Amino acid sequence: MDLKLVLDGDITIISLSGRIEIEKTQSFKQACLTTFADKKVVFCMKNLNFVGSSGIQSFFGVLNDLNNDKKMNVKIAGLTPDFQRLFAFSQCPALEVHESIEGALQSFC
């Protein structure tokens, strides 16, 4: 998985692309905690490849944990239809999903 970071004021936009590797989700979580603790973050997933339900469920779980524990203020943007369907069945009530980055940015106001 590749990451591209962009700052918009006090909000970090992380654009994800490529494949999620399930074995790297915990190292991803730790890197997020180290780098983005107490920050507002939008994860844009529109360029992420479908990896199967177990990989994305684990990834959603990591994002939910980061947000639920108030370690980060996380929003998700740009879910593809496949990811939207899986997210609907995930048990991640702490996560807000927005159609666009702009919508996610506005939700912080």
What predicted TM-score, i.e. pTM, was given to this entire model? 0.88
Question: DSSP character for 49?
Answer: P
Helices (H), 1-109: 25-36, 53-68, 81-89, 101-107
Tens digits of per-residue pLDDT, 41-93?
A: 999 999 988 666 667 778 888 888 888 877 789 999 999 888 888 888 888 87
